[in-house]
Chain A
Amino acid sequence: MADYREAPLATRPKTLDPDEYFNLSPDLRRAEEERAAIRANLKRQYQLQLNNPHRKELIEDPALTRWVYARTNPYPHFRATPKTSLLGMLFGVVPLIVLYYTFKTDRDNREEQIKAGTLDRKFKLSY
Chain B
Amino acid sequence: MAGVVGFQRWVRALTRARVAGMPALLSASRAASGPSKGMLPGPYPNTPEERAAAAKKYNMRVEDYEPHPDNGEGFGDYPKLPDRSQHERDPWYSWDHPDLRRNWGEPMHWNFDMFIRNRVDTSPTVVPWHTACKHLFGFIGFMLFMFYVGEQFPAYQAVGPKQYPYNNLYLERGGDPDKQPEEVKNYEI
Instruction: Using CB atoms and an 8 Å cutoff, list the residues of chain A in contact with chain B.
Output: 1, 3-13, 30-31, 33-46, 59-67, 69-71, 73-81, 83-84
Majority SS at the chain A contact face: helix
Q: Is the CB of A4 within 8 A of B128?
A: yes
B27 CB, nearest partner CB in chain A, Å: 6
Partner of B31, one of A6, A31, A62, A77: A62
B75 to chain A: which residues have CB within 8 Å? 70, 74, 77
- Chain B's closest residue to A36 (CB) is B15
C-alpha gap A76/B39 in the complex (Å):
16
Instruction: Using CB atoms and an 8 Å cutoff, list the residues of chain B in contact with chain A.
Output: 8, 11-12, 14-15, 24-25, 27, 29-35, 39-41, 43-44, 57-61, 63-64, 71-76, 78, 83-84, 88, 96, 103-108, 110, 112, 122-125, 128-130, 132
Partner of A69, one of B41, B104, B123: B41
Supplied contacts A13-B124, A63-B105, 12 more A-B pairs, CB within 8 Å: A7-B132, A37-B15, A38-B59, A38-B61, A42-B104, A45-B104, A46-B103, A60-B33, A63-B59, A64-B108, A66-B35, A77-B74
- Chain B's closest residue to A64 (CB) is B108
B105 to chain A: which residues have CB within 8 Å? 42, 45-46, 61-63
- Chain A's closest residue to B83 (CB) is A9
B125 to chain A: which residues have CB within 8 Å? 6-7, 10
Q: Can you name 28 A-B residue pairings with CB atoms under 8 Å?
A: A5-B130, A6-B128, A7-B132, A12-B124, A33-B15, A38-B59, A38-B61, A40-B25, A42-B105, A43-B96, A43-B103, A45-B31, A46-B103, A46-B105, A60-B33, A62-B32, A63-B59, A63-B104, A66-B57, A66-B107, A67-B110, A69-B41, A74-B73, A77-B76, A78-B72, A78-B73, A83-B72, A83-B73
B59 to chain A: which residues have CB within 8 Å? 38, 42, 63
C-alpha gap A69/B38 in the complex (Å):
13
C-alpha gap A109/B162 in the complex (Å):
46
- Chain B's closest residue to A84 (CB) is B72
Partner of A67, one of B8, B63, B112: B112
C-alpha gap A75/B78 in the complex (Å):
14
Partner of B124, one of A6, A8, A45, A59: A6
Q: Is the CB of B41 within 8 A of A70?
A: yes
Partner of A34, one of B11, B29, B71: B11
Q: Is the CB of A62 within 8 A of B44?
A: no
C-alpha gap A1/B126 in the complex (Å):
11
B106 to chain A: which residues have CB within 8 Å? 39, 42, 63
A7 to chain B: which residues have CB within 8 Å? 125, 129, 132
